[in-house]
Amino acid sequence: MSMCGRYVSTATAEQLANTFNAGDFTRGPAVEPDYNVAPTKNVHIVRMTHRDDVEREVVDTARWGLIPSWAKDIKIGSRLFNARAESVRTTSAFRNAFARRRALIPADGWYEWTPKQFGPGKQAFYITPESGQLVFAGLWEVFGPDKLITCTILTTPAQGELARIHDRQPLVLSPGQWEAWLKDDDAAVQLLEHPDITAVRLRPVGSAVGNVANNGPSLISAVEEQTGPDQLF
């Protein structure tokens, strides 16, 4: 499974507008609290907008999986839910969005899978920051005559303890970086090239999260990670 391909987001648009001092929010399709957000679902993003010659942040609704303006149809979005930080400025699908349409994508935590050391299958982990609001660096685009807003999450090489789970991780922004990511082109490039190491907690969780049809807070309940062969006696 690609990184980052599943996450948790439970805050309402009103709560996010307050957190990000967005003032108001764009009323797109309703986004319910979701413990198993997957590509092609509607998610909340924070983006810049211009109204009455005033630039400000708004909380909006976007379809996860970026669809470039030149795309033939929406199917491409199911593959473009992540953008690699190393190539986002040059890849045709993302370079215009990086230059003009950067976004914050709020989350509670995200999931990752790694092969079990003992026995078949993979162990799922739920990953949360040690402290503070979790925000992914993202991009957004507008597609088609209906002006469908879509988005993607940037990823970087995994750092610290995360590297034992997967070789990639989301580009996580600290509160002091939110405004720079949205508004400052030079600062955004620096964040791509020198991402901060974010302290996180890794919680082993059950296999139910692997099925996108499953949802609810039970998905993030901790289970015991198998660390050695089963004992017979």
CATH superfamily, domain at 7-220: SOS response associated peptidase-like (3.90.1680.10)
Instruction: Supply the pLDDT for residue 189.
Output: 97
Q: Residue 104: name the closest of 31, 185, 47 by CA.
A: 47
Alpha helices in 48-177 (DSSP H): 95-100
Residues 6+ apart with CB under 8 A from 168: 2, 3, 4, 82, 155, 156, 157, 158
Q: What is the pLDDT of residues 143-162, one digit of tens each?
A: 999 999 999 999 999 988 88
pLDDT for position 132: 80
Q: pLDDT below 70 — which residues of the chain?
A: 1-3, 226-233
pLDDT at residue 219, as a whole number: 98
Question: What per-residue confidence (pLDDT) applies to 230?
Answer: 45
pLDDT at 196: 79
Q: CA 141 to CA 101: how far, in whole Å? A: 7
The pLDDT assigned to 231 comes to 39
Distance CA 195, CA 97 (A): 19
> What 3-state class would DSSP assign to 222?
strand
Residue 197, pLDDT score: 72
* pLDDT for 120: 87
Catalytic residues: 4, 112
Confidence (pTM): 0.93
Q: What is the pLDDT of residues 70-114, one digit of tens each?
A: 999 999 999 999 999 999 999 999 999 999 999 999 999 999 999
